[in-house]
Every structure is written in C-alpha cells, then in structure tokens.
C-alpha cells in the first residue's frame, strides 16, 4: 500500500482524503516508510516531526481544525515539507546555520500557520543552504543534499531539499522560497515543478525586509495541477505582510483546469537573451526544440527578448541591500560562523552608495519596460530554467558555463533573476534530459500578478510532454559529467 500511496498526486491524495478512502495517518505512515528508505541516499529531509504530524492528523480525523475545509486549497490532512527557513512551532528550525543549530521556535511562521489551517500536515523540514543563500543545498548543520537522478550531482538551491523530497516520493507537496531562482532551479534540476509567485501573492510574515519584492515564498510539487492546489493553499491577504493582497476570485486549480480552453495566442521565447547570458549549449538546444510543442496547439512562438543591459550588476546591488537588512547584525556578533558568500554579499551592500542604489533602480525600471513591450504582444516569455544542468554536488556553484568562468556564486543566476527584478510570476516545468541524463526545464514567465497565466501555460506544456508521469523515482548513483 505504501508504494501506491506515494505514487498518488497531491490532487488525487486530497480527493481520497475528502472521500475518506484513506486517512491522514495512512499518508503519514507511507511517507515515513519512504523517507526511511531513501534518505540515506539523498539527505533531503533532515528533521522529522512525525509524532506532531500524527497528533495533527488525529485532530482532523476527530473533526477538529477544519474551519477552512470549504476554502480553496484545502489539503484535508495531506503531509507536506516546510523549508528549514520557516519556523514550525516545537520543531527544530536551523535556517541551515550552525548559529541556530539547536533552535526550536515556540510559534510557527505565518505561512506555516496558513498551510496548517488549510489542512496541510507538516511532517518534515527540508534542507537548505545557510540562510537560503546558495545554488547548491549544503550547510554545516546537516551536510549535502544529493540529486536523486544522479547522487553525484547537486539538487540545486536553495529549496533543494524540497525538490528532492518530491522527486523521490517522500512528500506530495513542498514549501519553499525564491530570491534569485530558489524555487525554480531546484525544480529544473530534479524534474519537478516550482513556482515563484508574484510579490504579495504569498505571505512572508516574519521576514525583516518586508518592503522588498525580491524574496517570496511559494509552492513546489510533482505536477502543475498540484502546484496550483498548493498556491491556493498559500494565497491571500495576511496582516503580517503589508504587500499581500486578496486571493483571486477564481482559484488557481480552476484556472489550470481551464488551460486548454484559454490557451495563449502568442509565446515569446529566448535561450540566452541574444547572447548576453552564458548558457549551456545542450540546454539551449533542448529548450529551443521543446518550446515548439506549443505550435501544435495553434500558438505562435516567436523569438524575442528584453534588452538585458547591466541587469546582473543591478541585481547584485539591490540583492546586497537585502543582505544588509538581514545579516549585518549577525556579522557583527557571529562573523566566524557565517559562510563567506554571505559575508561577501553583505559587505558589498554596506559599501554601496546612494547613487549606486538609484542607478540599480533605474536599470531595473528600464528592463521592466523592455519586458513590458514584449508582454504587450505575447502572453508569456519562455526561457530555459537554468543556465547549466546540475553540477558536482561537492561544488558550491558551477565553475563555468559554456566555457565562461563565473566570477561569483551568483554568476549563472540571471536567467531566473530577471523575473525577480521585474516582479513577474515564473513557473519551472520539466522539458527533458541532456545526454548525461540530467533533467532540463523550461521557465514560463508571465506579466506581474498574472500567476494563473503562468500556471496555465506550464500545464499545457506538461500535458504534451508527460514528464510528470516519471515520478517518483528511486535515487540513482552516477558520475559527474565533464564540463563543456
């Protein structure tokens, strides 16, 4: 029965829970057995809270804690994983930092409370880089999380643990966060789906930098309908987050169900923004081939891209201010326990001038207007979801992309960060595998607050490719392919 249950989609499992064909305890037991079987190979969910989960399940089964049962996104007792950057009451929450290695919060973060109110049951914390900073998931508290398609490779970051837990069938849904691609790149590396929602779509709650639009929280799943379900769970106004706004009148699950009838007329596509971004050649070729699937639906696919200019530099300037808000005090008190990448980004922020910050905002605005011009004639912009396939799990970042040596650990992130800076929703959806068996994904970017449109286009592609039906998988050993 365990194998049957872990192979259910989240949507199927919720339907069975609603019909009382299975219980939340059945799913918790199935997840626990699967976690015990695959964790030694991947290290995705280092902290479990199974007894807490069982207590929650029993309360639901008694008819308690069901006040949101008729609201969109009701999960009916479905087990989920929470990224180890968000507090879960009574559960060890480390933020991937040795400074907080033994931290056990007394209260849950607003997003966790929302998920639990909507019938989600937290069974584990998923691994993340230290404070979520990094494109490969490792930290000094729990070590490295490995890619189940090839355990010699990284799972990406920073929601790497969540992506691996989904791909291997440990959970049905995973929560995460995204600043420069942290929900999208791990999804691409592990052949699952992940979404960066529009800023304000999902509460961030207890973050200090509440007025910044760069960092968001959002869903990850094995397929797009499940992703929409989990976004419905998360979406809506929250008193703790001043940027949030009301959930849409039509829930995201219904929007995805209507994707075929509301298919896009015109899709813009680019592999490398006119040669301005370093891009793995095979990844580019796979994505360029696969995006043409939309033509079979009657969609026009045209090559187009906004002018990038100095956007990467602008991103690093603005990102550095986020680190100053979050980490300046920590550097003063615990500098010896903070990893070099965080120190570099924070000190860069402290050295920036007001004129540089103003320049970065001007550059961001210029880019958005260029992107807006594309959205005036195209429904979405589709790109590769990552500049390079999964790399050696022992590296913090790829050494080079298409022969270009990267200057810092963020060097390959602009393919995701452009959507961050423009305030756009973006969905990662699997589109194939390279010659070494590494997953490759597309990124579907829609205009700001058009989250339903991004989900619909991703769902259309998923139906054509059928790659979601390959999951879950058992972890597979392998070797690190050579660089180009």
User: Domain coordinates of the chain in residue numbers?
Assistant: 2-470
Tokens matching residue 385: 């979801």
Measure the CA–CA gap between 54 and 42, rounded to whole angstroms: 24
Q: Is 370 exposed, middle or buried (0-12, 13-18, 19+ CB in 10 A)?
A: middle
Residue 96 pLDDT > 80? yes
- How many residues in total does the chain contain? 484
CATH of 2-470, one of 3.90.1150.10, 3.40.190.150, 3.90.1300.10, 3.90.550.10: 3.90.1300.10
Residue 35 pLDDT > 90? yes
Task: Give the predicted TM-score (pTM) of the model.
Answer: 0.98
pLDDT at 61: 98
Q: Tell me the per-residue pLDDT of 349-379, one tens digit each, with 9 for 90 and over.
A: 999 999 999 999 999 999 999 999 999 999 9
Q: Tell me the per-residue pLDDT of 248-303, one tens digit each, with 9 for 90 and over.
A: 999 999 999 999 999 999 999 999 999 999 999 999 999 999 999 999 999 999 99
pLDDT at 309: 96
Q: How far does Cα 9 stand from its chain's mean position?
A: 18
For the segment 132-157, the average pLDDT, to the nearest whole number, is 98
Largest CA distance in the chain: 62
Q: Residue 484: which pLDDT band, with cuts at 50, 70 and 90?
A: low
Measure the CA–CA gap between 373 and 203, rounded to whole angstroms: 29
Q: Tell me the per-residue pLDDT of 111-126, one tens digit each, with 9 for 90 and over.
A: 999 999 999 999 999 9
Beta bridge partners of 240: none
pLDDT at 200: 97
């Amino acid at each position: 029965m365990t194998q049957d249950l872990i192979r259910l989609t989240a949507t199927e499992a919720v339907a069975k829970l609603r019909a009382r064909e299975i219980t939340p305890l059945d799913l918790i037991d199935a997840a626990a057995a699967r976690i015990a079987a695959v964790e030694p190979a991947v290290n995705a969910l280092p902290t479990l809270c199974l007894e807490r989960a069982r207590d929650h399940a029993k309360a639901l089964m008694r008819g308690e804690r069901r006040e949101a049962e008729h609201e969109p996104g009701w999960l009916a007792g479905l087990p989920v994983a929470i990224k180890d950057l968000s507090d879960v009451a009574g559960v060890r929450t480390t933020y991937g930092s040795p400074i907080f290695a033994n931290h056990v919060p007394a209260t849950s973060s607003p997003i966790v409370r929302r998920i639990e109110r909507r019938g989600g049951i937290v069974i584990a914390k998923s691994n993340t880089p230290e404070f979520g900073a990094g494109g490969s998931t490792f930290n000094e508290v729990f070590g490295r999380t490995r890619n189940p398609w090839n355990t010699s490779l990284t799972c990406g970051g920073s929601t790497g643990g969540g992506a691996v837990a989904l791909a291997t069938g440990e959970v049905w849904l995973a929560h995460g966060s995204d600043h420069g691609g942290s929900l999208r790149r791990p999804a691409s590396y592990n052949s699952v789906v992940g979404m960066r929602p529009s800023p304000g779509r999902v509460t961030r709650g207890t973050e200090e930098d509440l007025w910044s639009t760069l960092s968001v929280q959002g869903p990850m799943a094995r397929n797009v309908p499940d992703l929409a379900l989990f976004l419905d769970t998360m979406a809506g106004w929250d008193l703790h987050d001043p940027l949030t706004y009301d959930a849409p009148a039509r829930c995201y699950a219904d929007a995805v169900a209507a994707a075929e009838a509301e298919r896009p007329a015109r899709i813009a596509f680019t592999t490398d923004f006119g040669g301005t971004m370093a891009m793995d050649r095979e990844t580019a070729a796979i994505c360029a081939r696969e995006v043409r699937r939309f033509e079979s639906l009657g969609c026009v696919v045209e090559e187009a891209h906004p002018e990038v200019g100095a956007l990467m530099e602008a991103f690093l300037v603005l990102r550095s201010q986020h680190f100053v808000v979050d980490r300046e005090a920590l550097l003063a008190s615990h500098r010896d326990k903070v990893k070099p990448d965080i120190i570099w980004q924070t000190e860069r922020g402290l050295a920036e001038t007001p004129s540089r910050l103003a320049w970065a905002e001007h550059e961001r605005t210029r880019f958005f207007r260029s992107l807006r011009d594309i959205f005036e004639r195209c429904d979405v912009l589709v790109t590769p979801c990552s500049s390079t396939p999964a790399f050696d799990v022992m590296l913090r970042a790829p050494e080079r992309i298409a022969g270009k040596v990267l200057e810092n650990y963020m060097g390959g992130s602009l393919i995701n960060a452009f959507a961050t800076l423009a305030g756009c929703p973006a969905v990662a959806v699997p589109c194939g595998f390279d010659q070494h068996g590494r997953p490759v994904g597309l990124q579907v970017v829609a205009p700001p607050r058009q989250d339903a449109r991004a989900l619909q286009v991703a769902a259309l592609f998923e139906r054509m490719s059928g790659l979601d039906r390959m999951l879950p998988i058992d972890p597979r050993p392998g070797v690190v392919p050579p660089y180009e």
